[in-house]
Amino acid sequence: MYLATLLYESAIAGPAALTTTTAKQFLKSRRDDAGFQDVLDTIEEVVTAAQGLQAVSITMKELKDLANSNRRTTVSLTDVEAAAAKRCFCLYYLQRFV
C-alpha cells in the first residue's frame, strides 16, 4: 500500500518527489513487513502443531472407548492399532517430560 502511494506521488510530482526521507520510509516499511512474515510463519507452525495434538487426543479417546467396551473380553489389536497405540503413548510421554 505504501509503495502504491509512493508511485502515485512520483507520477504526479515527478521523480524529484522521491526524496531521501521518502526512500528511507519505504525501506523501513519493507523491513517491518519482513518481521510480520516471520510472525505469520510462527503462527502457522503453532496451528499445525495444535492440529497434531488434536489427532493424538482423538486416538487416545478411541483406544479408551475400545478398552471400555471390551472390559470382560481379551483385547486384541491389529498391527495398525498397535502401532497407533505405541505412537500415541510415545507422544504422550514426550509431551509430559520434555
pLDDT of residue 24: 61
Do residues 22 and 51 lie in contact, with contact meaning Cβ atoms separated by under 8 Å? no
Instruction: Give the model confidence (pLDDT) of 43-72 as tens digits.
Output: 787 777 777 777 778 888 888 887 777 666
Instruction: Give the model confidence (pLDDT) of 12-28 as tens digits.
Output: 555 555 555 566 666 56
pLDDT cut 90: percent of the chain above it: 0
Question: What mean pLDDT is predicted for residues 72-78?
Answer: 71
Q: Catalogue the E-assigned strands of 36-92.
A: none
**Residue 39 to residue 45: CA distance in whole angstroms:** 10
